[in-house]
Copies of this chain bind each other. A is one copy, B any other.
């Protein structure tokens, strides 16, 4: 039986999703909880990695077992074993050909920016604090140039990997700037994301917002297909893997 998990986590305490030698990972703890319950080795396949300090409200993963436990009971057992900053939100039995990574049709990431002059002591681990004034209408103009199908190599950090696989072409179905208490949230939906693409795109938009470059400059930057450009990736704590979609999500049809 193949089970699909929907997982939320606060990434602050972890070295990221993937099992690594450098620290405790979220994948490792979830796998361990499953092995404790099922009493046999289990490999958990996530929809993709998240870096150290990145959060998730809707990461997905799958695993196989010959044992059968009702999903509702399994969820309770897993949440009893897991630390409070990792929660299993839902478990469903899926077909044997479902794959957490390859069956996904799109992913949604949110990036939270704090723009207020007074920081909020409760959200410092979940927002990137921007200290310069930010022109949101300029950011919005730049966003229009980013939506659609492009080679996003110039906003990826590991170009060798991109070239090795399918290249840097991805389709950004949706990129929305939403005002919220204390700042804004950027919502990204694409058929796939290159390594550090969301954090680089947010950094690029911040360069526009703070006036270092003009909105139309993002056209040249994307076309350059080179990471050697005047913007910095924003830090991990503002980033949330919001949802992995296995059927077309909200704005998928508009593309």
Contact = CB atoms under 8 A, between A and B. Distances in A.
Interface string A114-130: 00001111101010010
A10 B126 CA distance: 14
A175 to B, nearest CB: 24
Report copies per complex. 2
A52 interface: no
A79 interface: yes
Interface in A5-26: 8-10
Contact of A79 (B55, B79, B89, B118): B118
A87 interface: yes
A10 B121 contact: yes
A95 interface: no
Contact of A122 (B119, B120, B126): B126
A170 B15 CA distance: 50
A235 to B, nearest CB: 13
Interface in A51-68: 55
A146 interface: no
A10 B86 CA distance: 21
A79 B119 contact: yes
A70 interface: no
Contacts of A129: 84
A157 to B, nearest CB: 26
A10 B12 CA distance: 16
Contacts of A79: 118-119
A85 interface: yes
Nearest to A88: B118
A74 to B, nearest CB: 13
A87 B120 contact: yes
A86 B121 contact: yes
18 contacts: A8-B120, A8-B122, A9-B121, A10-B121, A10-B122, A10-B124, A55-B122, A79-B118, A79-B119, A84-B119, A84-B121, A84-B129, A85-B121, A86-B121, A87-B118, A87-B119, A89-B118, A122-B126
Interface of A: 8-10, 55, 79, 84-87, 89, 118-122, 124, 126, 129
Given A9-B121, A85-B121, A87-B118, 14 more contacts: A8-B120, A8-B122, A10-B122, A10-B124, A55-B122, A79-B118, A79-B119, A84-B124, A86-B121, A87-B119, A87-B120, A87-B121, A89-B118, A122-B126
